[in-house]
Amino acid sequence: MILVNGEYKAHVEISDRGFQYGDGLFETIAVNNGQAVFLDRHLARLERGCRRLNIPFPGIELLSLEAKTLYQDSNKAVLKLIVTRGPGGRGYRQPDIIQPTRVLSLHPFPSFPDSSLGTFKCAHEEQGIAVRFCNTRLGLNPALAGIKHLNRLEQVLARAEWGDPDIQEGIMLDMAENVIEGTMSNLFYVKNDILYTASLELAGVAGVMRGIIMALSAEHALPVIEHSFMKEELLSADEVFISNSLIGIWPINKIGNTHFSVGLKTRQIQTWLHQFKNNN
Amino acid sequence: MILVNGEYKAHVEISDRGFQYGDGLFETIAVNNGQAVFLDRHLARLERGCRRLNIPFPGIELLSLEAKTLYQDSNKAVLKLIVTRGPGGRGYRQPDIIQPTRVLSLHPFPSFPDSSLGTFKCAHEEQGIAVRFCNTRLGLNPALAGIKHLNRLEQVLARAEWGDPDIQEGIMLDMAENVIEGTMSNLFYVKNDILYTASLELAGVAGVMRGIIMALSAEHALPVIEHSFMKEELLSADEVFISNSLIGIWPINKIGNTHFSVGLKTRQIQTWLHQFKNNN
């Protein structure tokens, strides 16, 4: 099911600048029991992204309404929102009057292995996952850092580096060898009871789930530090986990050949997140 | 006129990875008197780009044939070729079997002011143009540098920096403050009878016209050096010009407030290019 500017159709004009230049933004949202989880936060981020790229934001009411027609009867699904700068002529110059294109689509929720424990949604959330370092680097660019734009060739190339189904995620470094994030997730680590994540001034996507985790940790007096760090620092961590809007929090039990235990702090943050989801 | 996988239509599937992630490549080709200028070189670059991104190349014969049905009756036009990784599911992971999408479209040739001299096609080619430095920086990424891929938000943001119709192009620097290229062109300068252009190991597009200019200069024993250089070096040049497949060579007569004369070497290279075009 796809809605393009309010109409059910499955295609977009060739002249759309989303297709021509990746000139747009997107959001990936979990749907659970007929609700789009943290929809307000996703729309707020989309609005911030539109402001950064100078694309007129289609509006919270309109997007919420159109989204609801797609997800309201779904028990479990993924809602994707795309907003582009809309149709344009050949050439990078944007049209004088920008008429953004909005594309809302509903997708099957990925199938993750079940957990044997009722408190966890899937085995990855419970037991953790194995990840690898990617060779593909994230370029450095403050104009694009942080926002979830449609220029995603770096992630495409990074994700193409491995096919092993036992590796759930790849960790990406930037050109300066700083560890930034996963191909589809943000990355956190715990060391000496302090929570760390990469600063995203020059590369990376500031995930909605990342924002929630940082806010929850701050509320619970767990210190959170955004900074620049390298592989060695990550590999010497006490606990490591990734996050995104679909998976929530997955502990990492292995990076390459380095093993990690699923730690107490990770469990604590998972609990806070479950409580927060239940209260929202 | 647009051909999508050999059919006349004006749209592409939402699921196309070109739209979802900018996962593809493009070429912009001048059409002159029913001929696509340097088509073989453009197709060769497209094939190299496909190899870099691991997209199956649709083939020179097929693309040439489809292109010809579009351009053969045109006196003056722009032919654009796009090749994407084709349809895919949600997520960065590419499908096991990649079925690339090819989009060929014909566009009006841009209207440039006429030249009063018969040897030049337009006034910009004869008298030169005024350009500015852009604030938007090019990110550094060896995996994407050189190829003409569809992730073009940096160029979109740079081109949006000015509206003054007397400024014909913006010059872009990379994150390390090296001068790289124009938003839609490559950049050359002459100093002490040596021709220089930016090395494109970490950023930029290796233009077809850039390649021709470098080959012609080498043939005529004009030394060409690809290297890293900064604003100050460019501003102290004897001659500066830009190039692309539509404009050929345009001298620069002004960068910001710094004036340049249209120099002898630029005129010489323009002459070589005219001769080369006439012989091809």
Residues A132, A265, single domain; the answer is yes
Give the residue among B240, B241, B248, B208 at the shortest CA–CA distance from B112: B248
In a domain, B198, yes or no: yes
Does B97 share its domain with B130?
A: no
Distance in angstroms (rounded) separating the CA atoms of residues B80 and A92 = 14
A115 occurs within a structural domain: no
Across residues B117-140, what is the average pLDDT? 92
Report, as an integer, the average pLDDT of A207-213: 98
pLDDT at A121: 82
- Is A136 within the bounds of a domain? yes
Inter-chain CB proximity B92 and A184 less than 8 Å: yes
User: Residue holding tokens 């597009």?
Assistant: B205
Asked which of B108, B143, B167 is the last residue of a domain, the reply is: B108
Residue A262, both tokens: 């699923």
* CB-CB neighbors (< 8 A) of B20 in chain A: 26, 82, 150, 152
Interface probe, candidates A19, A107, A137, A164, chain B, greatest B C-beta count within 10 A: A19
pLDDT in tens, B179-198: 999 999 999 999 999 999 99
Of B78, B108, B138, the domain-final residue: B108
Q: Which of A7, A12, A14 best tests the B interface by mutation, with the highest count of B CBs <10 A?
A: A14
- Domain count for chain A: 2
Q: How far is B105 from chain A (nearest CA, A)?
A: 9
The yes-or-no verdict on residue B110 having pLDDT over 80 is yes
pLDDT digits (tens, 9 = 90+) for A88-110: 988 999 999 999 999 999 999 99
Q: Is the pLDDT of residue B118 over 80?
A: no
Does the pLDDT of residue B112 top 80, yes or no?
yes
Q: CA of A196: how far to CAs of A141, A190, A242, in Å? A: 22, 6, 12
Sheet holding A76-84, edge to edge: A7-8, A2-4, A101-108, A76-84, A24-32, A35-36
pLDDT at B143: 92
Residue-wise pLDDT tens digits, A41-58: 999 999 999 999 999 999
Give yes or no for a contact between B198 and B229, defined as CB atoms under 8 angstroms apart. yes
Nearest to A140 among B54, B139, B159 (CB): B139
ipTM of this complex = 0.96
User: Are residues B218 and B152 part of one domain?
Assistant: yes
Pairing of strands A129-133, A167-173: parallel
Q: Please tell me whether residues A161 and A51 are part of one structural domain.
A: no
Q: Does residue B41 have a pLDDT over 80? A: yes
CB contact under 8 A, A153 and B151: yes
The answer to whether the beta carbons of residues B166 and B190 sit under 8 Å apart is no
| Average pLDDT rounded to a whole number, residues B121-130 | 94
Mean pLDDT of B210-228: 97
Residue A235, both tokens: 């590999």
Lowest mean per-residue pLDDT among A92-96, A119-123, A238-242, B94-98:
A119-123
Q: Which residues of A touch B175 (CB under 8 A)?
A: 140-141, 202
CB contact set of B278 (below 8 Å; sequence gap of 6+): none
For chain B, the average pLDDT equals 96
Q: Tens of pLDDT along A116-130?
A: 877 788 999 999 999
Taking the C-alpha atoms of residue B113 and residue B122, their distance in angstroms, rounded to an integer, is 6
Tell me, what CATH number does A98's domain have? 3.30.470.10
How many beta-carbon contacts under 8 Å exist across A and B?
169
Do residues B57 and B195 share a domain?
no
B92, A19: Cβ pair inside 8 Å? no
Mean pLDDT, rounded, of chain A: 96
Same domain, B40 and B89: yes
Asked if residue B19 lies in contact with residue A12, where contact means CB atoms within 8 angstroms, the answer is yes
Q: Tell me: the pLDDT tens digits for B64-92? A: 999 999 999 999 999 999 999 999 988 99
The residue of chain A nearest to residue B136, with distances taken between CA atoms, is A143
Q: What is the pLDDT confidence band of residue B280, given thresholds at 50, 70 and 90?
A: confident
Residue B60 inside a domain? The answer is: yes
For residues A109 and A114, give the distance between their C-alpha atoms in angstroms, rounded to a whole number.
13
First-last CA distance in chain B: 26
Task: State the nearest Cα–Cα gap between A104 and chain B, in angstroms.
Answer: 10
- Residue A146 included in any domain: yes
The CATH number linked to A200 is: 3.20.10.10
Shared domain for A130 and A94, answered yes or no, is no
Q: Do A259 and A147 have their domain in common?
A: yes
Q: Do B131 and B203 fall into the same domain? A: yes
Three-class secondary structure of residue B178 per DSSP: strand
**Domain check: are A148 and A179 in the same one?**
yes
The model's pLDDT over A141-153, given as tens digits with 9 standing for 90+, comes to 999 999 999 999 9
A118 lies in some domain: no
Catalytic residue positions of A, numbered: 28, 148, 181
The pLDDT value given to residue B120 = 85
Which chain A residue lies closest to B81 (C-alpha atoms)?
A20
Give residue A115's pLDDT band: very low, low, confident or very high (50, 70, 90): confident
Same structural domain for residues B191 and B72? no
For residues A90 and A158, state if they share a domain: no
- Would residue B116 count as lying in a domain? no
What residues make up the domain containing A61?
2-108
* Assigned domain for B118 exists: no
